[in-house]
A and B are shown apart, each in its own frame.
Chain A
Amino acid sequence: MAQDVDEQAPGIGPAPLASGHGGASHDGHPSAKQYIRIGIVLAVLTGLEVWLSYSGITGALLITALLGAAMLKFVLVVLWFMHLRFDDRRYARFFLMGLAGAVTLYLVVLMVFGVFKR
């Protein structure tokens, strides 16, 4: 179901769907091999997290390392597996709006209740 973009008068009527993953155009998407590479990196990072929890490292260093690894895994999945790296940026803005709102709101709540001072 292809539609010639030139048939769309600029600024009139609904815009055509953006190319990329919003539609069925799959150009610029990772190959299966790239997905597998990302999967291996995620597995290694998980292994690193588990090793850290058994390593005897304690305190702020352990927490920073664990949260850093988790954040890296989070970003890899969102950018590669959920395709935000390749998709229209408006999707990322919508998602970041919720994510940033949640992180900000709940960090304030945790600070108000003094969780970080324990």
Chain B
Amino acid sequence: MADTTVTTAPDEHTTTGLPNTKLAMWLFLASECLLFGALITTYLLYRGQSLVGPYPADVFDIAYTSVSSFVLLASSLTMVLALSSAQRGDAIRMRLWLLTTAFLGMSFVGGQVYEFTVFYEEGLSITTNLFGTTFYVLTGFHGVHVTVGILMLLSLVGMSGANRLPDDPSFPVEMVGLYWHFVDIVWIVIFAVVYLVPTPNPA
């Protein structure tokens, strides 16, 4: 391996040859699979077991939630475009794509808050029935994760503007990107399992 060069991300040498930060991020995401798996499983365990309404079919607006899903998917695309710009050393475009991603994330969370408000006005609170409890806890946890992701994105933009990112900012952008895409794949599962798969008749 005569001319092979290895370019390090942060200043680190590790026994695995992999950056510890990235390894830790993947381990964190693996643990998050268990968290969201537990929440989705709880939703499925109590699906169709509510004794009083409103039931999913009474409150869900699939067209509205589909738009939210498109928005979150689009944010994953803008996130990788931000990474692509960072890898090319184009800081302006990187910031632009990061801001776009944050904006799309805020649109998603705003849509979720609106959806929760409508559901509440239709009589579904977190204590109304098993559907309300499991639905709000699952989607609420996801919404909190999206909000944390937005804060991380805005922090990246702020740090980039203040020249506090490394000369090659692609590593921190990639780390935030991994988290953001994970939040997206969790929504992919929630959208299909919670919203699209029909709920059986109430018990």
Contact = CB atoms under 8 A, between A and B. Distances in A.
A14 B8 CA distance: 13
Contact of B188 (A29, A74, A101): A74
Contacts of B31: 98
Nearest to A113: B45
A25 B8 CA distance: 8
A22 B22 contact: yes
Interface in A81-109: 81-83, 88, 90-91, 94-95, 97-99, 101-103, 105-106, 109
Interface in B1-19: 1-2, 4-9, 11-19
A15 B13 contact: yes
B162 interface: no
Interface in B70-93: 70, 73-74, 76-77, 79-81, 84, 87
A81 to B, nearest CB: 5
B8 A16 contact: yes
Nearest to B76: A81
B131 interface: no
- Residues of B in contact with A, size category: 35 or more
Q: Taking each of B31, B171, B185, B189, which has the highest tally of chain A beta carbons within 10 Å of its own beta carbon?
A: B185
A106 B185 contact: no
A6 B2 contact: yes
B16 A35 contact: no
Interface string B29-66: 11111101110110011011000000000000011001
Contacts of A38: 77
B45 A110 contact: yes
Enumerate the 4 nearest inter-chain pairs by beta-carbon distance, A residue then B residue, closest first.
A98-B30, A15-B17, A102-B37, A70-B192
Given A36-B77, A77-B181, 15 more contacts: A5-B5, A14-B14, A23-B7, A35-B80, A46-B73, A49-B191, A66-B196, A67-B192, A67-B193, A94-B26, A97-B30, A102-B34, A109-B41, A113-B45, A118-B48
19 contacts: A16-B13, A22-B18, A24-B87, A39-B74, A42-B73, A42-B77, A43-B70, A43-B74, A53-B196, A62-B198, A63-B197, A67-B193, A69-B192, A73-B73, A77-B76, A81-B79, A82-B177, A102-B37, A103-B37
